[in-house]
Amino acid sequence: LAAAAYALTSAYDSAVSQWMAEQVTEPPPTKTVAFQVERPLKYGCNPHQLPAGLCSVNGGKLPFEVISGTPGYINLLDAVNAWQLVFELAKATGKPAAASFKHVSPAGAAIGVPLSESEVEVYEVKGKPLTPVATAYVRARNADPMCSFGDFVAVSHEVDVATASILKIEVSDGIIAPGFEPEALEILKAKKGGKFIVLQADNDFVFPDMEYRMVGGIGFMQKRNSKICDAECLKKIPTKLKELPEQAKLDMLLGMIAIKYTQSNSVGYSKDGMMIGVGAGQQSRVDCVKLAGRKLATWRLRFHPKVMGLKFKDGVKRQDRVNARVRYIEGDMEEAEYQQWVKNFDNAPEPLVAQEKSEFLASLSDITIASDAFFPFRDSIDHAQKLGVKYVTQPGGSNADEEVIKACDTYGMTMAFTDLRLFHH
């Protein structure tokens, strides 16, 4: 009882101290932050990391309510980052937004732009109702469906039956959204035998201005990255070509906001309202460009006639089809793997050779690339041009800016300097 009493009075003192600090021009150097355990978690990042819990801060409320399922530590990290991404993306574009998160980075993110006939076929949603919200989700999930396996989903708008019905058949851990149609909620609550996690986000929640963290016995504090990515960020264009079509502006905003919530260093490619390649957490920026570029190429090659024409045996599961297509595109299977892979088909498919892939990828155009920090060398631009990049957004500020501008001019690219670095750790 004494421990509980002192914890309670300490939290009260912390709240008073914090309020008083906000009233003066020179706050005291001692910062007090009170965590209230709202629910215990099964474990932290790993099973041996106990105890673990979900906490409210300084007597405030949580930004969401747990409707169904039992969220874990990493689920919640994904949820809160993904929710911020889609919330900002919807506000910036005026369209429903969705994100597919794995390990605190987006595998995909998108807005509700209608699908083409070929996209409907490749994403396996033929005959399904496609509302703007459902379309945003389908695009987000299909940027990199191999990486989205077991993801956490965020949607900016109320989840309708069309969206829930598509999500129902995907392997996914949970969803966060501001609301759910009654029938949609029942569909999701029944998923995974009732273990699917459903979080209802608070649209009116105001994120605290300051963030605090402790790592290795050291405390850190910083102002939250509340900088808004909007059209104002795209007005500084140093390249010879300066025209930005409306779709390019949307793709630039999408790219900026997606990488804002991606582990740095990060680079992302976008087209027609969806991220089509995200390169996260690399020490070298050009490695981010190449990693994201490999994902972009895989995304595009899923539309190759040979890939679209693969004839699977009856009964091959949805995710197994996804994985088999990716390995067919990559084509680097050893004999033992190939013998397992080919069991997905009645007849062994004809290989997709390097020349066929190169010729098909040559049709890529109007791609946007966004970077969370400046390009320190022109090598990233040299690589990006191989993948149909026409629009570039980055903070600028490198000693190599002129070199990068010249590279963009050489390849006929339009580049915007945002003056906004977006590192995320």
352 in helix, strand or coil? coil
Question: Taking a C-beta distance cutoff of 8 angstroms, is the pair 122, 142 a contact?
Answer: yes
Amino acid at position 158, single letter: E
Closest C-alpha to 159, from 108, 96, 117? 96
Active site residue 343: no
Token pair recorded at residue 168: 């129902």
Q: How far apart are CA 143 and CA 123, in angstroms?
A: 10
Please tell me the chain's helix, strand, coil percentages from 3-state DSSP, rounded to the nearest 5. Answer: 40, 20, 40
Q: Is 157 a catalytic residue?
A: no
Catalytic pick among 75, 81, 95, 102: 102
Among 31, 91, 103, 306, the active-site one is: 103
Phi/psi at 221 (5° precision)? -140, 145
Q: For the chain, report the end-to-end CA distance as a whole number of angstroms.
A: 39
As a whole number of angstroms, the distance between CA 159 and CA 126 comes to: 20
Query: Which position among 75, 81, 142, 265 bears the catalytic label?
Result: 265
Q: How far is CA 144 from CA 29, 158, 274, 319, in A?
A: 46, 24, 11, 12
Helix (H) or strand (E) holding 174, with range, is strand 172-177
CA atoms of 259 and 422, how far apart (whole Å): 7
CB of 143 within 8 A of CB of 100? yes
Question: Rounded to the nearest 5°, which phi and psi values hold at 229?
Answer: -90, 110
Side-chain-side CA neighbours of 370 within 13 Å: the count stands at: 36
Q: Residue 425 catalytic? A: yes
Block residue for tokens 């106990």: 50
What is the rounded distance in angstroms from the CA atom of residue 139 to the CA atom of residue 126? Answer: 14
Identify whether 311 is a catalytic site residue. no
Active site residues: 102-103, 265, 425
